[in-house]
Amino acid sequence: MGKEIERKFLVRDSSYKDMADSHVEIRQGYLSRAKEATVRVRTFGSRAYITVKGPSHGAVRSEWEYEIPVSDALEMLREVAVGSVLEKTRYIVDFRGYKWEIDEFHGGHRGLVTAEVELPSEDTEFDRPGFVGEEVTGDPRYYNSNLS
């Protein structure tokens, strides 16, 4: 079992685009959005994954992720996804030793931009890039499963 320790923030400006090393288009939907376990299917560029996440405990949650055929992922998104399928562009920014993932949402959530950083422990100190705004870690309004 893997543990994910992640902090999430709103983004205040588009300077992340100039700082980004890469970006990728993502489509994701949920087979389950239950509080006890979410099951996500995602296309990530030319790859696809199914991910099971346990409940959040602050910035920590259990996570299992497996690569699956893209054709299976697209079929699941089309046939069994609960709610709407999210579409977003993810930008990757390396900043002072940490990889930041900035998600620019499209469709019904156009204008929402969030930044996440994965940490080795909950109490890890880290510098925030200038584009990072208010922290929303643990705020269910910004869970991708609730946005879908």
Give the Å distances, CA to CA, from 138 to 8, 14, 40, 51, 125: 8, 24, 18, 19, 18
Torsion of the alpha carbons at 80, 83, 87 and 92, rounded to the nearest 10: -90
pLDDT < 70: residue spans in the chain: 1
Ramachandran sector of residue 74 (left: φ over 0; alpha: ψ -120 to 50; beta: rest): alpha
Provide the pLDDT for residue 120. 94
Rounded Cα distance, 53 and 73, in Å: 17
What DSSP designation does 123 have?
Answer: T
- In this structure, which amino acid lies at residue 39? V
Catalytic residue among 30, 49, 66, 91: 30
Rounded Cα distance, 83 and 17, in Å: 29
Provide the pLDDT for residue 18. 97
Provide the pLDDT for residue 4. 84
Tell me the two tokens of residue 111: 């204008």
Bridge pairing between strands 60-68 and 2-11: antiparallel
What DSSP designation does 78 have?
Answer: H
Provide the pLDDT for residue 92. 98
Rounded Cα distance, 129 and 147, in Å: 25
Is 49 an annotated catalytic residue? no
